[in-house]
Structure 1
């Protein structure tokens, strides 16, 4: 019987795989060629837009160039104003020039804040340090060209009558037409106004909270204010050398233009504007906010009077959150703590402040 020739060998798995890989690679290369051609046509047809965001490197260089130019211009103007008193042709209105430079520095600070998202942290710190130096130079030049008048506290009341309040009203009225004071809108509410060298006390009881839950303290010099019990909101403005002791506030406390004062407050929100050389003993649910302030110090709430624990619990302020030491300075952009506030050293704190309720 004639032997049949063996069948030809089948292709191995390796050969089949290599054939498939080669085909896949050719398809992949063709796809890349098509994408490259499409991208090139898009680039050729695209017209540059002035509003397009440039690459990060170009953005940083453009930012630094503009920052440096503005900074040098401000420094040059400050040097010219500083030499003005001894110059044969002095600047006619240096005060106006200084105000303009103050606005320019503020604009430069906003420029840094607006572009800080793409800047390296080192560049942000360097720019903010330069702005701080410009502010110090501006203050120095201002003190040389336009010396500030020093404030002095009065030791005795004068015969000229009380200080005219922002919006004089009779205690107990309910006219809530607001009056603009600085950055806040202070309501025309019951309160203490236009007093000197007095102890002013108000007790808020259960019925009083519904009748008169908001209060204003303004235009006081060398006074002690005692507000015992719960109230809904407190507005404080233009106080000098005063001591203000307040029970729990259900809403907000707004403070503006105070100097040389001591505040003991418990509230859900506390905002402080234009305060100088003042101490704040706080219990607060949210972080306290300061603006345009300096030399302010903070410590925990220390007020005691008959029923204070009950009032704090009813106002949801019985828990000590520790936020008295977590202060936000809205005028400080750096990552380090603002130099405008500090924690009051324990050796200088009032450990406990006991006030007797006059109604008991």
Structure 2
């Protein structure tokens, strides 16, 4: 019987060992990158405790004011109660603004807990208003805007709030956009930023490819199935709802995702992406290019890679362990960067 060739036995082991070492190197680099990002955004010593103390004391003061109004032996005259209710409403708005300005360093649990506290305060205010002013139903002054745009429930902010980063309050249906298309390749250019380049909507698309070049102020995405969407810088926010089996390549200051299933997101984002009621969603870095995009990203303050594409907040997952609803896309599965420089606009009926 012939002896076995020793080289043939060791070759597979050597190759496996090499692959294993390469994988360990990639994981180490990813861990270093994410650790560096967290350290850069770490607040000064005492910032967290100072915020929590301020938030707690303000919340207790608002609750005390509400209790005082409702515990009176006789209900105050509506004309007398209204200024007090307006003052409480303003206090809640101020507290919400403080939360937005400090959201970038808050741990996920504290962020969710603070959001819930504000929501509870709004509910208590509305209940008190209906009791004290029954003939004219009081509504929280921002409630109409919140109904129009769910993203307004939480205005994530940068370290210093910017007017361009505010989430839009205009109704999605009224904004220009691309709607009700199937199996189409659609290219839209916004090469000059002006007042007309405000909000843009992608709605009710099936098996489409969409390329948006240039800068816009806000993007709404609704009810997309099996679509691929590539977009240049968005100065404000992106709100995504009801998508399945899609691929998105997006750059924005704020991104919020509702009801996404089996969908990949490649992002360049200044704040942490937020997901709610999602499953099977994965995240990777921005992979879109065209002539002039680097300048547009720089002018939009999106040229820096923050690493936030991998720092996702799942607002429906309150446990300390990793949410099962999202994960990172393995580097070997990242899509190639798509270059749309040669694509010409073929859709102008917005």
Please give the TM-score of this superposition, normalised by the length of structure 1. Answer: 0.49
Structure 1's 316 and 273: CA in aligned 2 closer, same or farther, altered over 3 A? same
CA distance in 2, matches of 1:209, 1:243: 26
Structure 2: runs of 5+ lacking an equivalent: 1-112, 115-143, 152-170, 346-350
* Residue 179 of structure 2 is aligned to residue 193 of structure 1: yes
CA distance in 1, matches of 2:146, 2:236: 19
Spell out structure 1 runs of 4+ moving beyond 3 A: 177-185, 357-360
CA distance in 2, matches of 1:288, 1:209: 27
Deviation at 1:230, TM superposition (A): 0.6
* Other-structure match for 1:330: 315
Residues 297 and 303, structure 2, Cα contact 8 Å, conserved in 1: yes
Structure 1's 182 and 319: CA in aligned 2 closer, same or farther, altered over 3 A? closer
Residues 221 and 239, structure 1, Cα contact 8 Å, conserved in 2: yes
Where do residues 141-290 of structure 1 align in structure 2 (5 Å cutoff)? 183=150, 186-206=172-192, 208-290=193-275
Structure 1: runs of 5+ lacking an equivalent: 1-112, 115-176
Structure 1's 352 and 251: CA in aligned 2 closer, same or farther, altered over 3 A? same
* Other-structure match for 1:298: 283
Deviations 1:261-315 (A, max 9, x none): 0000000000000000000000000000000000000000010101010010010
Where do residues 54-69 of structure 1 align in structure 2 (5 Å cutoff)? none
CA distance in 1, matches of 2:146, 2:211: 24
Residues 273 and 290, structure 1, Cα contact 8 Å, conserved in 2: yes
More helix by share: 2
Deviations 1:189-219 (A, max 9, x none): 110000000011110012x533222100000
* Other-structure match for 1:312: 297
Matched length: 188
Residues 179 and 188, structure 1, Cα contact 8 Å, conserved in 2: no
* Other-structure match for 1:142: none
Deviations 1:155-203 (A, max 9, x none): xxxxxxxxxxxxxxxxxxxxxx999789465251110000000011110
Q: CA RMSD in A?
A: 2.8
Structure 1's 195 and 304: CA in aligned 2 closer, same or farther, altered over 3 A? same
Deviations 1:77-123 (A, max 9, x none): xxxxxxxxxxxxxxxxxxxxxxxxxxxxxxxxxxxx89xxxxxxxxx
CA distance in 1, matches of 2:148, 2:268: 26
Structure 1's 261 and 239: CA in aligned 2 closer, same or farther, altered over 3 A? same
Larger RCO: 1 or 2 (CA < 8 Å, sep 6+)? 2
Larger radius of gyration, structure 1 or 2? 1
